[in-house]
Amino acid sequence: MSRLTWLLLLTLNLVATSEARNNIPAVIVFGDSSVDSGNNNVIATVLKSNFKPYGRDFEGGRPTGRFCNGRVPPDFIAEALGIKRTIPDRRVVACYIFQNVIPLWKELEFYKEFQAKLRAHVGVEKANYIIGEALYLMSLGTNDFLENYYVFPTRRLHYTVSQYEDFLLDIADNFIRKLYALGVRKLAITGLVPVGCLPLERATNVLGHHGCNQEYNNVALSFNKKLDNVISKLNRGLPGFMAMSANAYSIVNDIITRPSAYGYEVVEKACCSTGTFEMSYLCSDKNPLTCTDANKYVFWDAFHPTEKTNRIVSDYLIPKVLATFR
């Protein structure tokens, strides 16, 4: 996504925020593919999702770059706040993706440029209001573990799991403090879900008879506990700052443990293709194995939830978000 488009998305959103609830004029998202609303379409990522069957249950049945058959959690949160039904869709938020493609220091540089352009466009006072009152969503950890720590042996040679958790959280702590210095005051942070139960991890867990990888789930629980401590420390140490833990582990774990209670029929495999390892380009619209009804599945592809799951998780988190950021 170009820097000009970042500016365009947020400033156009100002037209639509008069009915926004809780005095939140915008939602700004920092995260990975689980919360991306389509910015991977225009940055140099290896994996894309701007083709069918991705987006087949989105408005108009169009692929948007969301790694889902429909909407992702920020869409539901923005809608609940009265901002817009989908992100960014010309009017809503700026969305930054921090993976290996764009390092965090570069994210901050882009964000500083965005703020400068916003102030030039709407004036300092209004821009400062938007920056300070916007809700910032951050999702972290999943790619760092599943696509980094457990993939590259060098990481495991240099860090124990606990040390790697601390390493990631130190980076996140520093990043958040720099955002605070730039005026950010409202932040909801999501850590890890039961990543050991993703279809991809089940498929590769041969010795565990393709059940959930409990080691990975234990890491998720440990990481989330440490993340909560970081959030508490930030809230105590930064005047006027309010961060909340948008911990989705328990709700996703309940869905996986009791799928029939939520109307699901399949939890161990995804809707796309064989449902074991396919994502991105391997999720072809031509594949006859792709399911016809994604609502019966917890996962859309081997790594990402279906829209139904995203909605259930969002419905679980939204009351907490609304209660925190009144």
pLDDT in tens, 181-194: 999 999 999 999 99
Q: Which of 128, 140, 137, 95 is nearest to 321 (CA)?
A: 137
Among the options 37, 280, 301, 314, which is catalytic? 301
> Which pLDDT value is given to residue 36?
67
33 among known catalytic residues: yes
Separation between Cα atoms, residue 194 and residue 240, nearest integer Å:
32
pTM of the model: 0.86
Separation between Cα atoms, residue 99 and residue 95, nearest integer Å:
13
- Top CATH class of 3-247 equals alpha beta
Q: What is the mean pLDDT of residues 211-228?
A: 96
Q: Which of 165, 170, 135, 150 is nearest to 30 (CA)?
A: 135
Domain locations along the chain? 3-247
pLDDT, one tens digit per residue, over 227-240 is 999 999 999 999 99
pLDDT, one tens digit per residue, over 91-116 is 334 444 444 456 667 778 888 988 99
Cα–Cα–Cα angle for 31, 26, 304, rounded to 5 degrees:
30
Cα 244 versus chain centre, distance: 15
Percent above pLDDT 90 for the chain: 54
Among the options 33, 37, 139, 280, which is catalytic? 33
Separation between Cα atoms, residue 9 and residue 306, nearest integer Å:
26
Among the options 34, 36, 144, 304, which is catalytic? 304
228 among known catalytic residues: no
209 among known catalytic residues: no
pLDDT, one tens digit per residue, over 240-299 is 999 999 999 999 999 999 999 999 999 999 999 998 987 777 888 888 899 999 999 999
